[in-house]
Amino acid sequence: MINSSISAWTGRCILGSVLGLYIAYAYYMASYLPVFPTELAYANGQGGWLFSTIRRFWELAFGDNIMVIRGLSILFALGAILLAYLVGRILSGDQTVGAFLALGFVLFPPMVGIFSLATPHALATFLSLGAVILSVKPRRHTVRCWRSIVAFVLMAMAVIISLNGLPANKLAGTNQDTIISAVLVPYSMLWIGALTGLVASLSPEVSERMGLAGIWIARGASALVVGLLLVLFFFRDMPMGQYMVMVGYVFGICLMGVLPLIVWVRFVMPNVRSILAWLIFPVIMYSGFWVVFGSIDQGFFPYNRLGLGTNE
């Protein structure tokens, strides 16, 4: 662990800024966004039983106002941001790396919006990152078994929410554009970051900093997300729009795949002396973004399969 006061305070300041920015974004969106069809479906008990149960207890304690219910998601999202910071700090030994990993939650305002709705996205992310933190946190031998059991339970709960979390045929309407952009835009850059992170994990300096376990956790996170999405795509019959929104549930796990890239930028890139490398790196990142995102034309994939712009 790097105990430098400069690094520690830099990380804390970045984390504080991320939390403050998220609260400001989330409060604004929760206050002014209209009620989404998916939120109404959950209110009518059409979603997964796990989230419905948690939501019911929250309503009994604080009321059933939509702003109050969205506040539950905001709390889970704030908890997920803190967990992402802790995971990054533990695996890299540096507070600044942890803070930049948490920064992924506020880079794309539409993602803040979808995490602020009365839906299980924030809860699933919180549970999955809770499982990760229990798996990577230094632990005593006497409690190792219990931590593993709790981590497994948390991940199982996240998977249950992801697989049974979205009411069918509830995406159409005037708010559909916001939902689609909330998923497509951040995931475009997130996938590129994960792929670049896979390359960065091959660096000896990154491997030494994160350790063998940390490297394979980051690689395994990306593989798990890809495998889950492929299973859902090929073996679960669902509308394309529903599938695209469901990928938001695995945001926390997918974010782990970017960690080796952050470590590389933090510890290796400052020592790179090649001007060519400094020129190529941003070109690869932004070129990859446009390759994934493609042209913004509703007549081409993936928009033509989402019914974007219709009110059916």
Nearest to 87 by CA among 243, 208, 217: 217
Residue with tokens 């994160």, as numbered in its chain: 210
Q: Tell me, what's the pLDDT at 157? A: 83
Q: Tell me, what's the pLDDT at 38? A: 73
Asked whether 249 and 87 are in contact (CB, 8 A), the reply is: no
Residue with tokens 């350790």, as numbered in its chain: 211
Per run of 10 residues, the mean pLDDT along the chain (length 312 residues) is 71 89 88 78 72 84 86 93 92 89 80 81 88 76 69 81 59 47 58 82 90 87 80 70 67 84 86 70 61 50 45 40
pTM of the model: 0.79
Nearest to 176 by CA among 235, 222, 114: 114
Residue with tokens 């497509």, as numbered in its chain: 184
